[in-house]
Amino acid sequence: MSGINQPEEELIDYEDDHDVSLTTGANGAAAAPADGEKEKKAYTNVHTTGFRDFLLKPELLRAISDLGFEHPSEVQQECIPQAVLGMDVLCQAKSGHGKTAVFVLATLQQLEPVDGEVSVIVLCHTRELAYQIRNEYTRFSRYMPDVRTGVVFGGTPVAKDIELLKDKTKCPHIIVATPGRLNALARDKHLDPKKVKHFVLDECDKMLEQLAPIGGNPFDWSFYALQCVDDAATNLDSIDAVNYVDALSLEQGLKHIHMRRDVQEIFRVTPHHKQVMMFSATLSKDIRVTCKKFMANPLEIFIDDESKLTLHGLQQHYINLEEVAKNRKLNDLLDQLEFNQVVIFVKSVSRANELNKLLNSCNFPSICIHSGLNQEERINRYQSFKSFEKRILVATDIFGRGIDVERVNIVVNYDAPSEADSYLHRVGRAGRFGTKGLAITFVSSPADTEVLQQIQGRFEVKVTELPDTIDSSTYMTS
């Protein structure tokens, strides 16, 4: 994974000229800031971080800049950093939220093109959407001349598709397709799916919406369901077929059945170990369950009509305390709570360094990541933490934007975030979305209290005061 390492473009988390440093007394507590330093500090808003913090290839960053994209959308901020690491993604967001760019950038970032090998399959339900997605790949890969993208769909001469796939010097590394045509190419051995590493469904509900009623497993096609298809093909008055397609016209119902079957068969012939990403503007609860059967513990992002991003699976609490009491309370929490790994967020580079030193001196081995480090060192430290070499990480908001470490189940906001969006990114590290986790925020000023109120208004969540005791089973996955 490539990154840009230019000092003038580094993320500045906090105005260091106005920094409140951690000064440690004999009792290990942080000294309170002077009265003159209590005014509200200047933070950089999460939306101004740009695409560079996703550690994308320079070729992608250049294309993004050419296309005039300055700041990632909410769904892009949440999905891209984890998608580029190969994590499965299930995302619902309304049109215009930039879902397509998520999987286009994520797959281009990870792609290592080899002549004659198809690495990425993107399926969609219409030819028009297939063309649109192919064009997006072309736009974002403009500085990646070795990458080839192709589009295939029904209604056109299949001989052209066969010829394209047969020539290793022309065979696309990325194929955007409708399910029927691609399944036919795979079934007739014109497409070799054995090297596919990324499997994407756009508008997935359109292709899977009638899969769930068949059975618990999307691959357990019942004899009854298949018999309905056969009956319908020969008997247009078949009651079973009409009931099965659930009030759709028979013709449309058969189209959906065949499309679902094509998706399933394509999925089956691709390697078991691959990244799976699914996106749609609408996802019912039943469809979500169905989609997740294709995936391995996916990141789940659901943005509703009001653009509220719902946090799943996290217990969220706050603690009212004075600034000088933070270190003592943090020490107590680390002693009392059970955890796999913990991320502790602070508001500046210097506070990250000082708290990291303090924790190590108190026999809490930790590591820190912040914007003061160059890109290579950040990645090295991230990999060290991800590989479980250290269980405690002290970080600024640069680590709070979608970076995934699956063992993290506790987040402590040592310094409360400056606004609600930053809170979302931080606490999202406490376990993956949909899994158990615990987020604790230290509240030590009126500004912190105001942000806490904004958080509860912005997201569908209630942040309550931390109880005296807490059952570890509620935030630890067994």
The answer on pLDDT for 264 being more than 70 is yes
Instruction: Give the pLDDT score at 125.
Output: 86
Structure-model confidence comparison of residues 283 and 353, the more confident one: 353
Helix, strand, coil tally for the chain in percent (to 5): 40, 15, 45
Is the pLDDT at 39 greater than 90? The verdict is no
What is the phi/psi pair of residue 300, to 5°? -115, 120
Can you tell me the distance from the alpha carbon of 254 to that of 234, in angstroms, rounded to the nearest whole number? Answer: 12
pLDDT tens digit sequence for 76-124: 988 998 999 999 999 998 766 789 999 999 999 999 999 999 999 999 9
pLDDT at 36: 39
- Flag the least confident range among 30-39, 135-144, 166-175, 444-453: 30-39
Task: Map out the domains of the chain with their CATH numbers.
Answer: 88-297 (3.40.50.300), 312-474 (3.40.50.300)
> Whose CA is closest to 397, among 102, 86, 7, 48?
48
Assess whether pLDDT exceeds 50 at residue 476. yes
Q: For all residues of the chain together, what is the average pLDDT?
A: 79
C-alpha distance from residue 436 to each of 34, 335, 441 (Å): 39, 20, 17
Return the sign of the alpha-carbon dihedral for residues 226, 295, 72, 419: positive
- Rounded to an integer, what distance in angstroms lies between the CA atom of residue 119 and that of residue 194? 9
Please, which pLDDT band fits residue 400 given cuts at 50, 70 and 90? low
What tens digit of pLDDT does each residue of 285-336 get? 888 999 999 999 899 988 764 445 555 567 899 999 999 999 999 999 999 9
Is pLDDT above 90 for 30? no
Percentage of the chain beyond pLDDT 90 is 48
Residues contacting 171, CB < 8 A, separation 6+: 115, 116, 117, 118, 148, 150, 164, 165
- pLDDT one-digit tens code per residue, 408-446: 889 999 999 988 878 877 887 775 544 678 999 999 999
Q: The pTM is what?
A: 0.53
Are 465 and 318 spatial neighbours (Cβ–Cβ below 8 Å)?
Answer: yes
Cα–Cα distance measured from residue 31 to residue 47, given in angstroms and rounded to the nearest whole number: 32
Average pLDDT over residues 449-455: 92
Any idea what the Cα angle at residue 473 is, between residues 470 and 478, rounded to 5°? 160
Query: Tokens at residue 145, please?
Result: 């001349």
User: Confidence band (pLDDT; 50, 70, 90) for 284?
Assistant: confident
